[in-house]
Amino acid sequence: MTYLVRYSNKDKASVVLDNYIMGDNLAEAGRKLNLSRERSRQLFNKAISRELVCARVAGLDRNEIKNEIKSSHNVNRAAKRYKIIIDEKRNHALRKLKSDYIRTENGLIRILGLPKSSLHLISESYPELLSILAENNNKWSRHYDKCRYCATTDIEHKSWGYCKKCYKYSTELKTLKRKYYIKHYEETRERQHIYYAAHKST
């Protein structure tokens, strides 16, 4: 709010307006000055009128000034509310980010139970949360630093520490295929008999 900084005198009315812009409601803004809500409202209206007069003298759009004040209040009010929630859930979020291997900002705000508009506050006041996201996103795999077979990190990880290219040659996949074959042996043989009988008759 550079306009208000330029034209506001720091009397009680301006302090109430500044507190309102920073996210306080009128009752909270007045309480900081030991004023009732009604007195706070009167001072707020006085400050607004003075700002609008200054805006008219400066050739600025009065509606834009009003909208800027309201918008700044809403943004800062939301930020205060989000900050309380983030402070309560910060340690839980840190554990979840590391243990569940969260990679995206959407995953982070889902853990915190906040909307996307909270990301600005998170980036400003809680950069450590975003740094963990960056580390998770840059790591090749949760448990492996490189492919166990060819040592690459350029090809996407598939499973068991193998890249997509080497996965099909892995012992683990061959073991899985063998178990599946044994488990479904009778079904496979039955399908084969039906297939051979159908083609033999033709």
How many Cβ atoms are within 10 Å of 129's Cβ, its own excluded? Answer: 21
User: pLDDT for 26-39, tens place per residue?
Assistant: 999 989 999 999 99
pTM above 0.75, yes or no: no
Which range in 40-49, 73-82, 132-141, 191-200 is most confidently predicted, on average pLDDT?
40-49
User: pLDDT for 96-151, tens place per residue?
Assistant: 888 877 888 888 999 999 888 788 788 888 899 988 888 887 788 878 888 989 99
Residue 158 clears pLDDT 70, i.e. is over it: yes
> Among 62-76, 119-133, 188-202, where is mean pLDDT lowest?
188-202
Whole-angstrom distance, CA of residue 197 vs CA of residue 191: 10
Mark out the alpha helices in 8-153 (DSSP H runs). Answer: 12-21, 26-31, 37-58, 62-99, 105-112, 119-125, 127-138
Contacts of 4 (CB under 8 A, 6+ apart): 17, 18, 21, 51, 69
pLDDT band, residue 202 (cuts 50/70/90): low
How many Cβ atoms are within 10 Å of 108's Cβ, its own excluded? Answer: 22
